Structure 1
Amino acid sequence: MTVVHHRTAQIQDVTVFYREAGDPANPTLVLLHGFPTSSAMFRNLLRDLADAYHLIAPDHIGFGRSSMPRVDEFDYSFDKLTEITAELLDALGVDRFALYIQDYGAPIGLRIASRHPERVTAIISQSGNAYLEGFTPFWEVLFAHAKDRAANETEVRKLLELEATEWQYLHGVPEDRRDRVSPDTWTLDQSYLDRPGNKEIQLQLFWDYQFNLDAYPAFQKYFAEHRPPTLITWGEHDEIFGADGARAYLRDLPDAELHLLDAGHFALETHGDEIAGLIRDFLGRTVR
């Protein structure tokens, strides 16, 4: 029977919560979640793959069960979240690993990969954007907020409310699969967003996201020079990171395996079995 462990580690002066499953003697897959969720998005994948792989899924600081220091007490930036994640892996003694990147997990994971290419055995991207082509009209208000926070904060705050959280899970999902998406997903995410002080944290990360674009050339250079084995399992109807962002990977990684699924932003909720099968086949050929 698969056992998923729920653990914490002290990194610098914060507590990082992480889920862990599988035998550490097997190849490691690090699962990095996006906004507005947590490692809970990988709850099924942990059980699906733990017979053959060692899996680690942390909650970023300010998300899920990890520490949530006030926005004026912690550097809520993607550089800092990268630093914490890298130190967690060092603390756990994980030297080589494949990366599963989704949404916010992409700029975190790809910073690690581009700085330490010798440690990364493969990349799996599910709406893990690394190209300008991936941005959709969804981002217009966020980029406006990055230029003028005060003038655009009211509109951006709407992205932190229940209606927007539910939309993230349900948009782009075919009607015959909508009943596969548990309402627990957006209810749990919203409960974390509604904690006192958390919306200010999310607004800071919204603002900081602009600096991820400055790192895209380094990510793309890493792809082109190191050619990590790459699997792309992307919701074709994702209105946050569009399918053009998935196709763009092929420019620098022509051997990448691209699968556009009949899904939206959180494809694991509706296509978890298919994605697990694709990962098992891919990692079985590339890292085992």
Structure 2
Amino acid sequence: MTNPAAGISVTHHRTAVIEGIKLFYREAGPADGDTIVLLHGFPTSSHMFRNLIPALADRYRVIAPDYPGYGQSDMPSHADFPYTFDRIASLVDGLLEHLGAKTYAMYVMDYGAPVGWRIALKHPERVTGFIVQNGNAYDEGLKEFWDPIKQYWKDESDASRQALQKLLTLDTTIFQYTDGVSDRTRVAPDNWIHDQALLDRPGNNDVQLDLLFDYRTNLPLYPTVQAYFREHRPPMLIVWGKNDFIFPEDGAHPYKRDLPDVELHLIDTGHFALEDKADEMIPLIRDFLARRVASR
């Protein structure tokens, strides 16, 4: 008699204290497998990878952390903790050190891209490849959605900061999950219920507004990231929701300038592409990892 549970992986939900901050992370797969680090976007958490993790964990060690202020990780007051991409990258790097991850590929999405780029610049020898889902490294990717955020970067005024509060509302969270999606029945409403409950925690609006302000620090980093691509030529798969209003398709094509061997797939969906197109993306991801990343 066959075992119906054979091949079903178990995801562990763990925490570690890194530099005094409790970080929550999901971990699955063989401890000696090639490591894949999944770096989430705004306003979600490692929750966005709940379906991808078991699809990779038969072969790979998968680690998916929540950043401070997100998911189940600590959310210290913004008065006591600098919510910057430098700080988040330092904590994620510390977590990977703590977990003994010596080499790893990174799946970067949205905010996960500037976190991942910082780690790669610090440890280029550890990075075995990238999967990029709607994560920016080029000026071409910051269009209309970013105009009010750029205004805040420019004038640093309270009025411009408060104008961004609308990005933290339920309507905007639903928009992020459903805009550009052709079949909304594929997208679980649990997503925006989960994310909005965390956004609505007292003090979390300042966490998010601080990070939106700090996003400006990523733009001067782009030339350094692009030089890293040219020098180290990391294997890269791009699976980009081409209907995304936040990180539009314009941000996907420039990678080809610096990485001629990049594998670029434009997926007919929006920002959170895994929610409705996992059936299309997971075979591409597994094939890419097996051919260009996995150790032999």
How would you bin the TM-score normalised by the shorter chain?
over 0.9
State, as a whole percentage, how many aligned pairs show the same letter. 55
**One-letter amino acid matched to 1:142:** I
Q: 274, 277, 280: which one pairs with 1:271? A: 277
Q: Following the alignment from structure 2 to structure 1, what is the Cα–Cα distance between the partners of residues 162 and 67? A: 25
Q: Following the alignment from structure 1 to structure 2, what is the Cα–Cα distance between the partners of residues 287 and 233? A: 16
Question: Which residue of the partner structure matches residue 233 of structure 2?
Answer: 227
Per-residue CA deviation, residues 28-51 of structure 1 (Å, 9 max, x unaligned), is: 100000100000000000011110
Question: Which residue of the partner structure matches residue 110 of structure 2?
Answer: 103
Question: Which residue of the partner structure matches residue 154 of structure 1?
Answer: 162
Q: 170, 182, 190: which one pairs with 1:184? A: 190
Structure 1 residue 165 and structure 2 residue 152: aligned? Answer: no
**One-letter amino acid matched to 1:268:** L
What secondary structure does 1:247 align onto? coil
Q: Following the alignment from structure 1 to structure 2, what is the Cα–Cα distance between the partners of residues 35 and 146? A: 18
Q: Following the alignment from structure 1 to structure 2, what is the Cα–Cα distance between the partners of residues 144 and 59? A: 29
Structure 1 residue 63 and structure 2 residue 73: aligned? Answer: no
Per-residue CA deviation, residues 201-233 of structure 1 (Å, 9 max, x unaligned), is: 101001110011111111100001110000000
Question: Which residue of the partner structure matches residue 244 of structure 2?
Answer: 238
Per-residue CA deviation, residues 260-281 of structure 1 (Å, 9 max, x unaligned), is: 0001000000111221111100
Q: 249, 252, 255: which one pairs with 1:249? A: 255
Q: Following the alignment from structure 2 to structure 1, what is the Cα–Cα distance between the partners of residues 249 and 152? A: 24
Q: Following the alignment from structure 2 to structure 1, what is the Cα–Cα distance between the partners of residues 245 and 95? A: 32
Question: Which residue of the partner structure matches residue 145 of structure 1?
Answer: 152
Per-residue CA deviation, residues 67-102 of structure 1 (Å, 9 max, x unaligned), is: 000000101100000100000000000010000000
Structure 1 residue 3 and structure 2 residue 13: aligned? Answer: no
Q: CA deviation at 1:120?
A: 0.2
What secondary structure does 2:252 align onto? helix
Q: 183, 188, 200: which one pairs with 1:194? A: 200
Q: Following the alignment from structure 2 to structure 1, what is the Cα–Cα distance between the partners of residues 31 and 222? A: 32
Q: CA deviation at 1:108?
A: 0.4
Q: CA deviation at 1:154?
A: 2.8
Q: 73, 85, 95: which one pairs with 1:88? A: 95
Q: CA deviation at 1:115?
A: 2.0
Q: Following the alignment from structure 1 to structure 2, what is the Cα–Cα distance between the partners of residues 284 and 97? A: 14
Normalising by structure 1, report the TM-score. Answer: 0.98
Structure 1 residue 14 and structure 2 residue 21: aligned? Answer: yes
Per-residue CA deviation, residues 234-274 of structure 1 (Å, 9 max, x unaligned), is: 00111101111111100100100000000100000011122
What secondary structure does 1:241 align onto? coil
Q: 218, 224, 240: which one pairs with 2:224? A: 218
Normalising by structure 2, report the TM-score. Answer: 0.95
**One-letter amino acid matched to 1:150:** D
State how 1:276-287 maps to structure 2 within 5 Å.
276-287=282-293
Q: Following the alignment from structure 1 to structure 2, what is the Cα–Cα distance between the partners of residues 41 and 202? A: 18
Q: CA deviation at 1:151?
A: 2.4
Q: CA deviation at 1:58?
A: 0.1
What secondary structure does 1:212 align onto? helix
Q: Following the alignment from structure 2 to structure 1, what is the Cα–Cα distance between the partners of residues 52 and 279? A: 8
Q: Following the alignment from structure 1 to structure 2, what is the Cα–Cα distance between the partners of residues 207 and 124? A: 26
Per-residue CA deviation, residues 128-176 of structure 1 (Å, 9 max, x unaligned), is: 11000111200001111122231212320000010001000011111xx
Question: Which residue of the partner structure matches residue 3 of structure 2?
Answer: none
Q: Following the alignment from structure 1 to structure 2, what is the Cα–Cα distance between the partners of residues 267 and 26? A: 26
Q: Following the alignment from structure 2 to structure 1, what is the Cα–Cα distance between the partners of residues 237 and 171? A: 31
Q: Which stretch of structure 1 is more off in the superposition, 141-150 or 79-88?
A: 141-150
**One-letter amino acid matched to 2:34:** P
Q: Following the alignment from structure 1 to structure 2, what is the Cα–Cα distance between the partners of residues 222 and 129? A: 15
Q: Following the alignment from structure 1 to structure 2, what is the Cα–Cα distance between the partners of residues 50 and 276? A: 12
**One-letter amino acid matched to 1:158:** K
